[in-house]
Amino acid sequence: MAGKNQHVVPRGSGWAVQGAGNSRATSIHPTQSEAISEARGIARNQESELFVHGRDGRIRERDSHGRDPNPPKG
What is the Cα–Cα distance from 66 to 16, expressed in whole angstroms?
22
Pick from 39, 42, 29: nearest CA to 7: 39
In the predicted structure, residue 72 carries a pLDDT above the cut 60: yes
pLDDT digits (tens, 9 = 90+) for 24-66: 999 999 999 999 999 999 999 999 999 999 999 999 999 988 7
What is the Cα–Cα distance from 73 to 17, expressed in whole angstroms?
32
